[in-house]
Amino acid sequence: MSEYILDIKDLHAGIEGEEILKGVDLRIAAGETHVLMGPNGAGKSTLGNVIMGNPVYKVNSGSMIFDGKDLTEMSVDERAKAGLFMSFQNPLEVPGLTMDNFIRSALRERTGKAIKIFQFKKKLEETCSLLDMDEAYVQRDLNVGFSGGEKKKAEIFQLLMLEPKFAILDETDSGLDVDAVRIVSKGVDIFRKNGGTLLIITHSTRILEGLNVDATHVIVDGKVVKEGGAELVETINAGGFEGLKNE
Amino acid sequence: MSDIKEVKEPSIYDFRDEERDEDFYKVDAGLTEDIIREISKEKHDPEWMLEFRLNALKVYKEMEIPDWGPPIDGLDLNNIVTYVKPKTKMVGSWDEVPADIKNAFEKLGIPQAEREALAGVGAQYDSEIVYHNVKKEVEDQGVVYTDMESAITGKYEQMVKDHFMKLVPVNDHKFAALHGAVWSGGSFVYAPPGAKVEIPLQSYFRLNAPGAGQFEHTLIIVDEGADVHFIEGCSAPKYNIANLHAGCVELFVGKNAHLRYSTIENWSKNMYNLNTKRAICEEGGTIEWISGSFGSHVSYLYPTSILKGDHSHSEFTGVTFAGATQNLDTGAKVIHIGKHTSSFIDTKSITKGGGINTYRSSVEIRPTALYSKASVNCGSLMIDSESRSDTVPAMDIRTDTADVGHEAKIGRISDDAVFYMMSRGMSEAAAKAMIVSGFASPVSKELPLEYAAEMNNLIKLEMETG
Ligand SMILES: Nc1ncnc2c1ncn2[C@@H]1O[C@H](COP(=O)(O)OP(=O)(O)O)[C@@H](O)[C@H]1O
Ligand SMILES: [Mg+2]
């Protein structure tokens, strides 16, 4: 088995008639925290979606191995059950389905076991207080009428409730005020300390404060053009993506 | 309370399409006076009920088949007698019950004894004790809750006579007339002034009385200031070899009274469900309908509220699910007569596998109904592109003091939402079922917990099949 929990090689993928990812290589070892940066439209969200298995995108060639399993052969829910998670850039609304009901059903499907109500409730409460969320929140319909920030917090809430092995955070910090970013970072840190592996898509350093970044990848026009350590985040924040394209 | 003459014409059931009148066809229904007399005798009807039935038979024979809705030519009306003959055995044995019904029982986790009863092949499900317990509790309040046969032969005979098919007159439409002639089974409720019944009255346990689930009659009279919740139905498909259901529900809501009438129906997929439900509210009275309609091959169902008294109010919350081979024509009607009356209609239809859903509603605000309010909200969710969903809302506003609103939305299940839910570990089927249950939640939220759970199971089952 590979030393990497996620091992992507020469991945070409896109939509009907248009290639968006043009040969992506990405390797992440278990327990590490990686950052994915790149200009708007570079293909960051597409990469997240392709890893998660969004049927909108087609994989043309290349390989994706997660925890020893070939992702290209797996349905979305199988990937989730294998331990993958993505915090969506734009979480979807499901009217009439309460968040706690949704999470409980997801847990039931993931474990194949009935959920013990008492333990579940306790964990809901703990997670709420951790993320400074009102408990009434989880009784609301999933993402319906949530503000942008509330939606992102709800994604981290799900992350902590579902306890996957690997989480892709797609601009979870975008559009959040300072306090909300701090809370999200706190949630992410807990996930990481419990052994979770992270791929954080972000434009800013705020969410990374206090996190130990192991590697940074820069994607431009569907290809990883530069890789480095935590310091690369600073470099890009100072100088932007210009100049990286031609390296 | 039964003074409703002023609302009888024009017919409040009929959505008939005037242009197609020449398409009417008549049938020679082989239903005879002798057969009606036979039914009447078996049921120990009082003399007046026999007369009533015979008159209804006459009306039935004179009336035409409605032609404005989904086709019902699969009904063998030339042979109507096979649907109503009292000695027609419903099903011979468990072996004759179709596989999809057995399957549904299995998936819904209905116990075997109950399954056989529901399919009409076993001994009646032994639920008398439960039933009697409920009865005892409501009797302490002076509330009468009994079956129609007992009501009509007991001390409430006069009350039944004063109300029976006064709200839905036999000449309302052909199947109302048929109902009047051959009705059998059903519930009778009378709540005296001021009675407040905390627990919902559930008719679940009487579904399998002979003839019930086919031509049953429900008569509920809620007297001044009383409050009743009546709930009917279960998720198990009701199978009947005679595939015609022409029931009738009449609800009389007295001054400042409140009635909530909830139903979950799941008819077998061969059923023609031609049901008539109607309520009338006196001054300050409130009728609330909660309705979940599943199954049947064809349904015509438009619960109607007549807001006769000033300040009376009606709310209708309904969901309809049409899958493959189903053509469901459902909705609600409201007739505003009194001043300051208000009505609220909220319906959801779900269509899948080539099924057809037509939402049909009518809101009529008569010139007398000054300062009335009506709001209609209908949403449709289509699971695939083969399915069809139509909306036919009608409004007839005869006063300029009315405040009316209407909103219709037709949508498809969102692939992005399905992906989102699957990314948390849900199978595609489970994700879709949850989206659909969520869509239907305005109804399930209003149901007692166990009924809501049943309804969600039913949605899951419908999403999995076909
Ligand atoms: N479903 C889609 N349909 C059409 N174009 C898409 C779709 N998804 C992504 N794209 C295109 O692919 C490119 C990369 O998009 P995306 O992955 O969202 O970028 P990023 O997240 O890096 O800003 C963009 O040009 C975008 O318009
Ligand atoms: Mg993006």
| pLDDT bracket for residue B174 (50, 70, 90) | very high
Give dist(CA B344, CA B280) in Å, integer. 15
Q: Do the chains contact at A86 and B423, CB–CB below 8 Å?
A: yes
Q: Do the chains contact at B423 and A80, CB–CB below 8 Å?
A: yes
DSSP of B162-185, one letter per residue? Answer: HHTTTSS-GGGSHHHHHHHHH---
Report the pLDDT averaged over residues B292-314.
96
Contact, B143 vs B228, CB < 8 A? yes
DSSP of B237-251, one letter per residue? Answer: -B--SS-EE--EEEE
What the block records as the tokens of B265 is 């129906």
Q: Which of A125, A123, A170, A180 is nearest to A147 (CA)?
A: A180
Q: Do the chains contact at A55 and B427, CB–CB below 8 Å?
A: no
Residue A244's contacts (CB-CB under 8 Å, 6 or more residues apart) are A218, A220, A225, A226, A236
ipTM: 0.97
B427 and A CB contact within 8 Å: yes
Q: Where are the beta strands (DSSP E) in B171-242?
A: 187-191, 201-202, 217-222, 227-233
CA atoms within 13 A on the CB side of B364: 19
Give dist(CA A131, CA A151) in Å, integer. 13
Query: From residue A187, how far is each of A157, A184, A202, A208, B201 by CA, in Å?
Result: 8, 5, 16, 12, 49
Identify which of A46, A199, A201 to mutate to test ligand 1's pocket (most ligand atoms within 8 A of the CB). Answer: A46
Answer yes or no: is the C-beta of A20 below 6 A from any ligand 1 atom: yes
Query: From residue B296, how far is each of B265, B291, B329 by CA, in Å?
Result: 9, 15, 11
Å from CA of A168 to ligand 2 middle: 12
Beta carbons within 10 angstroms of residue B360's beta carbon? 22
Q: Which of B350, B352, B364 is nearest to B393 (CA)?
A: B364
Q: Say if residue B243 is exposed, middle or buried (CB neighbours under 10 Å; 0-12, 13-18, 19+).
A: buried
User: What residue owns the CA closest to ligand 1's atom 9?
Assistant: A46
Q: What is the 3-state secondary structure (H, E, C) of chain A?
A: CCCEEEEEEEEEEEECCEEEEEEEEEEEECCCEEEEECCCCCCHHHHHHHHHCCCCCEEEEEEEEECCEEHHHCCHHHHHHHCEEEECCCCCCEEEEEHHHHHHHHHHHHHCCCCCHHHHHHHHHHHHHHCCCCHHHHHCEECCCCCHHHHHHHHHHHHHHHCCCEEEEECCCCCCCHHHHHHHHHHHHHHHHCCCEEEEECCCCHHHCCCCCCEEEEEECCEEEEEECCHHHHHHHHHCCCCCCCC
User: Highest mean pLDDT: which of A21-25, B115-119, B234-238?
Assistant: A21-25
Q: Do the chains contact at A76 and B430, CB–CB below 8 Å?
A: no
Nearest ligand to the C-alpha atom of residue A20: 1
| pLDDT bracket for residue B187 (50, 70, 90) | confident
What the block records as the tokens of A163 is 């306890």
Report the pLDDT averaged over residues B164-192.
93
- Buried b / exposed e along B96-119 (16+ C-beta atoms within 10 A): ebbeebbebbeebebeeebbbbbb
**DSSP H/E element including B321:** strand B313-322
Q: Which of A145, A121, B419 is nearest to A154 (CA)?
A: A145
Please tell me the least confidently modeled range out of B5-19, B221-235, B319-333, B417-431. B5-19
User: Which atom belonging to ligand 1 lies closest to the Cα atom of A48?
Assistant: 17
Query: From residue B158, how far is each of B145, B151, B162 by CA, in Å?
Result: 16, 9, 6
- Which residues in chain B have Cβ-Cβ distances shorter than 8 Å to A159? none
Q: Helix or strand or coil: residue B268?
A: coil
pTM given for the model: 0.85
Please tell me the least confidently modeled range out of A41-45, B117-121, B283-287. B117-121
Å from CA of A170 to ligand 2 middle: 7
Pick A77's closest partner by Cβ from B427, B439, B442. Answer: B427
Answer yes or no: is the C-beta of A33 below 6 A from any ligand 1 atom: no
Angle between helices B449-464 and B428-439 (to 10 degrees): 130
Q: Say yes or no to pLDDT of B123 above 50.
A: no
Identify which of A11, A12, A20, A22 to mutate to test ligand 1's pocket (most ligand atoms within 8 A of the CB). Answer: A20
User: Which atom belonging to ligand 1 lies closest to the Cα atom of A219?
Assistant: 22
Give dist(CA B79, CA B62) in Å, integer. 16
| pLDDT bracket for residue B141 (50, 70, 90) | confident
pLDDT tens sequence across B407-452? 999 899 999 999 999 999 999 999 999 999 999 999 999 988 878 8
Q: Do the chains contact at A96 and B439, CB–CB below 8 Å?
A: yes
Give dist(CA B305, CA B307) in Å, integer. 6
pLDDT tens sequence across B361-409? 999 999 999 999 999 999 999 999 899 999 998 999 999 999 999 999 9
- Which residues in chain B have Cβ-Cβ distances shorter than 8 Å to A107? 425
Q: Say yes or no to pLDDT of B9 above 70.
A: no
Answer yes or no: is the C-beta of A222 below 6 A from any ligand 1 atom: no
**DSSP H/E element including B118:** helix B112-118
| Side chain identity, residue B69 | G
- Which residues in chain A have Cβ-Cβ distances shorter than 8 Å to B425? 77, 80-81, 106-107, 109-110, 162
Å from CA of B430 to ligand 1 middle: 28
| Average pLDDT in chain B | 83
Name the residue with tokens 């600073």. Answer: A234
pLDDT of residue B109: 60
Q: Which of B210, B220, B351 is nearest to B278 (CA)?
A: B220
Pick A94's closest partner by Cβ from B419, B428, B438. Answer: B438
Q: Do the chains contact at B417 and A93, CB–CB below 8 Å?
A: yes
Q: Say yes or no to pLDDT of B15 above 70.
A: no
pLDDT of residue B185: 80
Nearest ligand to the C-alpha atom of residue A18: 1
Residue A233's contacts (CB-CB under 8 Å, 6 or more residues apart) are A35, A37, A205, A208, A213, A216
Domains of chain A: 6-92+166-244 (3.40.50.300)
Q: Say yes or no to pLDDT of B24 above 60.
A: no
Name the residue with tokens 């990314």. Answer: B423
Q: Do the chains contact at A109 and B439, CB–CB below 8 Å?
A: no
Give dist(CA A150, CA A156) in Å, integer. 10
Please tell me the least confidently modeled range out of A179-188, B336-345, B450-459. B450-459
Å from CA of A41 to ligand 1 middle: 6
Report the pLDDT averaged over residues B66-88.
70
pLDDT tens, residue order, chain A (247 aa):
568 999 999 999 999 989 999 999 999 999 999 999 999 999 999 999 999 999 999 999 999 999 999 999 999 999 999 999 999 999 999 999 999 999 999 999 999 988 898 999 999 999 999 999 999 989 999 999 999 989 999 999 999 999 999 999 999 998 888 889 999 999 999 999 999 999 999 988 888 887 889 999 999 999 999 999 988 988 888 888 876 654 4
User: What residue owns the CA closest to ligand 1's atom 27?
Assistant: A41
Q: Say if residue A18 is exposed, middle or buried (CB neighbours under 10 Å; 0-12, 13-18, 19+).
A: exposed
Å from CA of A39 to ligand 2 middle: 9
Q: Which of A201, A194, A117 is nearest to A163 (CA)?
A: A194
pLDDT of residue A175: 84
| pLDDT bracket for residue B342 (50, 70, 90) | very high
Q: Do the chains contact at B421 and A88, CB–CB below 8 Å?
A: no
Mutate to test the interface with B, among A93, A104, A109, A160 (most CBs of B within 10 A): A109
Query: From residue A162, how far is each of A84, A129, B112, B142 by CA, in Å?
Result: 10, 17, 38, 53
pLDDT of residue B241: 60
| pLDDT bracket for residue B126 (50, 70, 90) | very low
| pLDDT bracket for residue B101 (50, 70, 90) | low
pLDDT of residue B116: 60
Contact, A82 vs A66, CB < 8 A? yes
- Which residues in chain A have Cβ-Cβ distances shorter than 8 Å to B415? 55-56
Residues in chain A whose Cβ is within 8 Å of chain B: 52-56, 75-77, 79-81, 84-86, 88, 91-97, 102-103, 105-107, 109-110, 141, 158, 162
Answer yes or no: is the C-beta of A56 below 6 A from any ligand 1 atom: yes
Report the pLDDT averaged over residues B145-153.
87
CA B417 to chain A, closest CA, distance in angstroms equals 6
The sign of the torsion formed by the CA atoms of B144, B149, B152, B154 equals negative
Residue B45's contacts (CB-CB under 8 Å, 6 or more residues apart) are B53, B152
What the block records as the tokens of B12 is 């409040």
Residue of chain A with shortest Cα separation from B435:
A94
